[in-house]
Amino acid sequence: MDWKSIAQERQDHRSKTIAAVEPPVPEIPKDLPSNVTGIPRKLLPEDVITITETGPEILLQQLASQKLTCTAVTKAFLQRAGLASRLTNCVTELLPDRALSRAKYLDDYLHEHGKPIGPLHGLPISVKEHIGMKGLDQNGGFISWVGRVAPDDAIILKLLWNAGAVFYARTTEPQTLMHLETSNNIYGVTVNPYNSKLTSGGSSGGEGALLGMKGSCGSIRVPAANNGVFGLRPTSYRLPLHGIVATMVGEELIIPVVGPLGQSLEGIKLFMKSIIDQQPWLYDPSLAPFPWKDASKATLLRQGPDGRRKLHIGLMPDDGIVKPHPPILRGIQTLVDRIKDHPDIEIIDFPPYKHDEGWRIISTLYFADGAVEEYEAIDSSGEPWRPLSNWIIKENPNVKTYTLDQSWKLTLEREGYKAAYASHWNSVGTGSSGGPGSPDAGQVQDKMVDVILCPAGAGAAPPLDCTRYWSYTSQWNLLDYPAVVFPTGLACSSEDQAEKDYPPRNEQDAYNHKLYDPATYADAPISLQLVGRRYEDEKVIEALEMILDVAGLPKISTDSKI
């Protein structure tokens, strides 16, 4: 069977799963606007709209109190997810039979025992396709992998199941799983719900688009920035990866992570806490045995030697290599203007430290085997290489086959860069690294930057096949720092005019500058990123909560503007 026939079979299967949803998923109009986020309100019943647009933390309260049944909530999200897929191409399959059987069990359990089965009782959670679900296809975005069936559920799904989750939808991913967009030859291109000319992001663009369409209240992995929702890139070894398929599984040069994406910041916390409270390191011994610490504002604003300590926010609006587009800079400035005069906040300019060197290192480490597995997975079926697969592998001069001793040297280079960046972070606002044994170490540490506020990308969601600058996110992957992406409530508009006669800094900067046009980016959400130090995941979330409170921004994704 040729690759096109295989792809058609998977698409037909998806169509059957959407058609099996009851009440039926509405048919979509022939002539659609580029921004389809308003379509569900026109086609879905009011009760479905109400349920699917309720924050997960509130939904859980309503489920626990039996104000809503798990069955009703599951049916609502199945219907909205099916519609979201018809509008953005974000789903690989729906799971109505599995999901409704699970929902009925949870409803019966609550009725019999008078209490929820766990902290996520009845919460619908969508799952990226390469995360194993027992008995279901796990193709990783490759035609040649279609037909590979997961023998068991991934550990992270088992933990979510124990907490009471309902799995009802599986979502799209890119060929190679190494695009900041989502396109493969099985399902095609997943588009941005706010502007169909733009990408939904990647490698979890299916999740992003589904969340952006309010077709899911929680999911596994990001991107969040392109779709106006919240997302956490946790520190490595906090959440289990066992049961997730990809090429190069087992390589340790750049440790992959899995993390949550959701409609609210509280939902992100619930996701993390529900898993980590189950001590996942007992089942995956590679994980760090750190409990989830329910932090409070008091831990950020502790008493220091000079009185009440402020939250120190390092401001890095530009990485010095590629200048962000006007909407992103406007988003940063708008937020800073809202928080800079607060007595508990201090804004400190945070200069970037050799981010070009960071990209050289990480782009070398991504495919240290010369991308042998990617070549085999793509070429064995005869499917074509997607444009961004070509770019990150065939057009990447750093993709080479390295010997074992060369890999060791690259690892030392990576660790040296991490140490240099840590020293740089320590010195910002303090004038000293405050190293071990330093007589002023305590005072220096008290003055250090707590978190970095920066762009989540060089622009809002780029046009399709154009996301070729990764460093606003890959930088933190290299350093293994936790980062939370959050919506500002702002969107790109005609007021964001491109800078005329702009002198590009380099080839990458020139490429990014040429991408921008206000009309092309119309309605794309403006999101930002808050970054913390390794294993300070809770602190980053706590700091973002405080920033959103001071700025008067909602902690749930909405269409409101600041």
pLDDT in tens, 522-536: 999 999 999 999 999
Average pLDDT for the chain:
94
Residue 547: which pLDDT band, with cuts at 50, 70 and 90?
A: very high
Q: Where are the domains of the chain?
A: 3-26+42-282, 298-551
Residue 559: which pLDDT band, with cuts at 50, 70 and 90?
A: low
Tell me whether the CATH fold assigned to 3-26+42-282 matches the one assigned to 298-551.
yes
Query: Is pLDDT of 195 > 60?
Result: yes
What mean pLDDT is predicted for residues 301-315? 79
Q: Read off the pLDDT of residues 386-435 as tens digits, 9 standing for 90 and up.
A: 999 999 999 999 999 999 999 999 999 999 999 999 999 999 999 876 66
pLDDT of residue 304: 57
Residue 276: which pLDDT band, with cuts at 50, 70 and 90?
A: very high
Other CB atoms within 10 Å distance of the CB of residue 442: 11
Query: Is pLDDT of 560 > 60?
Result: no
**Of 481, 190, 495, 205, nearest in space to 325 by CA:** 495
What mean pLDDT is predicted for residues 238-254? 91
Residue 557: which pLDDT band, with cuts at 50, 70 and 90?
A: confident
What is 104-150 written as a DSSP string?
HHHHHHHHHHSS-SSTTTT-EEEEETTB--TTSB--TT-GGGTT-B-
pLDDT of residue 296: 64
Alpha helix positions (H), 428-490: 441-447, 471-479
Contacts 24+ apart (CB under 8 A), 61-65: 63/110, 63/116, 63/121, 63/122, 63/123, 64/110, 64/115, 64/116, 64/121
Q: Which residue has the higher pLDDT, 251 or 419?
A: 419
pLDDT of residue 309: 85
Query: Is pLDDT of 147 > 60?
Result: yes
Q: CB within 8 A of 51, min separation 6: which ones? A: 59, 68, 72, 73, 76, 77
pLDDT of residue 222: 46
pLDDT of residue 561: 44
What mean pLDDT is predicted for residues 199-214? 95
List the CATH code of the domain at 3-26+42-282. 3.90.1300.10
What mean pLDDT is predicted for residues 132-147? 98
Query: Is pLDDT of 295 > 60?
Result: yes
Order of all β-strands in the sheet with 230-233:
91-94, 166-171, 124-128, 218-220, 260-262, 230-233, 483-491, 525-531, 451-455, 311-315, 345-349
Query: Is pLDDT of 178 > 80?
Result: yes
Task: Give me the active site residues, please.
Answer: 128, 203, 219
Q: Read off the pLDDT of residues 62-93 as tens digits, 9 standing for 90 and up.
A: 999 999 999 999 999 999 999 999 999 999 99
Global pTM reads 0.96
pLDDT of residue 252: 87
What mean pLDDT is predicted for residues 181-191? 98
Assess whether the previous peptide bond of 305 is cis (omega < 30° from 0).
Answer: no
Q: CB within 8 A of 481, min separation 6: which ones? A: 235, 531, 532, 533, 534
Superfamily per CATH, domain 298-551: Amidase signature (AS) domain (3.90.1300.10)
Query: Is pLDDT of 331 > 80?
Result: yes
Over pLDDT 90: what percentage of the chain?
90
pLDDT of residue 437: 61
pLDDT of residue 433: 67
pLDDT of residue 301: 77
Residue 218: which pLDDT band, with cuts at 50, 70 and 90?
A: confident
Query: Is pLDDT of 306 > 80?
Result: no
- How long, in residues, is the chain? 562
